[in-house]
Amino acid sequence: MVYLACDTITCWNQNINFSAQTTKNTAETPQAKTVERSEEHICATDTIFHASDGYALSGTLFEARSDSPSGTGPLVLISAATGVPRGFYHAFARQLIANGSRAVLTYDYRGMPGSPRPPEFTARINMRDWGHRDMTAAMARLDAVAPGHKMVGIGQSYGGQALGLSGMPERFERYCMIASLSGYWRNTTTPWKVLLRLNLIGVPIASLLGSTASWMGIGEPMPASVLRDWTRWCNHHEYFFDDPTVDARSRYAMVRMPILSVGMSDDPWGTPAAINGLMKHYVNADVEQIWLSPQDAGGQKIGHLGFFRSRFAETLWPGIMDWLLTPGQS
């Protein structure tokens, strides 16, 4: 049921300049630490685990090899953006282990190619269950590595929305959100393009085919039911917070941990209005917000999904990793 593979990772000394704008006056920006595990060997194990309704989910667990000492840093759960496979985050996961994390888990939400519908599962696949069920199942799988060990999380786009939907936020010590936002179409930089792509192209074609297609430009194929949910939310000013089946407002009020919200100045989806439209619902959390720009990335475009690309390992990653892994940074 599991597949074991070992990879070698090259580590480097890292520095980041969080000269980006911040909406909260904090102490000095965390400085990246020198990686002590140069050329450390890391094991990546593919694993199957189940959500509360029995749906089988796929993930990849990263740890130090058995012949190397385990890290003492927190467990880290990485939750993906809509339509993005878990493999997109594996370089970041390996670097977290190299920097001392005890273990890191990436996973695919139900209905994604990495976690396809099991033959025996006949219920509708709902996007809300990515947060209600899939994230909580991933938390339990990661916790099983070292029960009770400190756990932190980082999510991209929907992966930040999922924290509030999970209903179990207390398991995290702190959480970082990369380009996480409320998806109301008018808050994007190309509102009419988004509205037409989702409503007049995406939903009709996905309903006909049973799933989205890669050429639609909205990520990996996902069930038509998920796209219909997402489109319905994007059509409303308050996104899923006005959907009574999601129960988002009360669930978000349960979140009481420090949150670092990271926006990108060149993100067409993650505008200030869109990000603030989500963060305002974390009413009981200690939210800090920073903005990164291409200038912080050596002049390279970041965009909505670019942060986790390995080309930013020496510019954008170190400060975020330091915030996640170092006690007292939150």
**What is the distance between the alpha carbons of residues 191 and 217, in angstroms, rounded to a whole number?**
15
pLDDT in tens, 87-122: 999 999 999 999 999 999 999 999 999 999 999 999
Checking if the pLDDT of 287 tops 50, the result is yes
Q: Could you report the per-residue pLDDT of 145-192, keeping only the tens digit for each?
A: 999 999 999 999 999 999 999 999 999 999 999 999 999 999 999 999
109-133 burial code (b ≥16 CB/10 A, e <16): bbbbebbeeeeeeeeebbbbbbbbb
Report the CATH superfamily, name and number, of domain 3-182+249-325: Alpha/Beta hydrolase fold, catalytic domain (3.40.50.1820)
Structure tokens at 268: 């067409």
The C-alpha atoms of residue 47 and residue 45 are separated, in whole angstroms, by: 6
Alpha helices per DSSP H over 197-308: 203-209, 224-234, 248-252, 272-279
**What are the domain boundaries of the chain?**
3-182+249-325
DSSP letter (8 states) at residue 187:
G
Residue 126 makes CB contacts below 8 A (sequence gap 6+) with 225, 226, 229, 245
**Model confidence band, residue 67 (pLDDT cutoffs 50, 70, 90):** confident
pLDDT band at 264 (very low <50, low <70, confident <90, very high): very high
According to DSSP, residue 197 is labeled I
**What phi, psi does 226 have (nearest 5°)?**
-65, -45
Answer for the pair 61, 104: CB distance below 8 angstroms, yes or no.
Answer: yes
Assess contact for 118 and 141: CB atoms under 8 A.
no
Q: Which of 119, 161, 131, 127 is nearest to 278 (CA)?
A: 161
Residue 279: per-residue pLDDT: 98
Beta bridge partners of 73: 101
| Beta bridge partners of residue 107, listed in sequence order | 59
Of 37-46, 124-133, 225-234, which range is least confident?
A: 37-46
Lowest mean pLDDT among 24-33, 112-121, 264-273, 303-312: 24-33
Cβ contact 30:319 at 8 Å:
yes
